[in-house]
Amino acid sequence: MKFTVTIAGRDLEVEVLGPEVRVGGRRFAAALLRVPGTPICHLVSERNSRTYALLRQGANWQIQQGGAVWPAEVVDERTAQLRALLKDQRKQDAPGLVRAPMPGLVLRVDVEAGQEIAAGAGLVVLEAMKMENEIRSSGPGRVKSVLVEPGQAVEKGTPLVEVVGQG
């Protein structure tokens, strides 16, 4: 399984390959041994071994060792792909035109033409990669037109909703 681990603003690509781990392209044998009922774990590699406390805080982690504390974010490969696709939503080519950030199936349309919306309002829910993804407005405005309907398959970049006064 692949992960992107961000520690102190630095991204590390980590891939777990059974008894081996690849970090930043370097492959080595390693094992993570946990102390049941505690946040303590022992990382044993072919070079050394260290004891850490791993504390989960929602989607983020805090790594502690010898008085040092590092906040960390761990994102699996699938979540990283979804984030990259959703970032494309913000880079739309026409102001007010909300496009599908990924291919998928329209599950629900939460707005109608003429409706006033606030920044961050849910517009459309797409199912992609077996996950529901709510597409939201980037700013306040009024829905000029809804360009899709539930059950419709869409490709990445398909216009979904046109919003005027959005910014």
Distance of alpha carbon 143 from alpha carbon 162, whole angstroms: 6
Distance of alpha carbon 165 from alpha carbon 122, whole angstroms: 16
Distance of alpha carbon 161 from alpha carbon 144, whole angstroms: 8
Q: How far apart are the first and last CA of the chain?
A: 39
Distance of alpha carbon 2 from alpha carbon 47, whole angstroms: 22
pLDDT in tens, 92-122: 445 588 999 889 999 999 999 999 998 888 9
Give the model's pLDDT for residue 5.
Answer: 87
Give the model's pLDDT for residue 51.
Answer: 92
Give the model's pLDDT for residue 84.
Answer: 75
Same fold yes or no, 2-77 and 90-164: no
> What's the CATH fold of domain 2-77?
Glycoprotein, Type 4 Pilin (3.30.700)
> What's the CATH fold of domain 90-164?
OB fold (Dihydrolipoamide Acetyltransferase, E2P) (2.40.50)
Q: What strand order describes the sheet that includes 122-128?
A: 131-136, 122-128, 104-109, 153-154
Domain ranges of the chain: 2-77, 90-164
Q: Which residues of the chain have pLDDT under 70?
A: 59, 86-95, 166-167
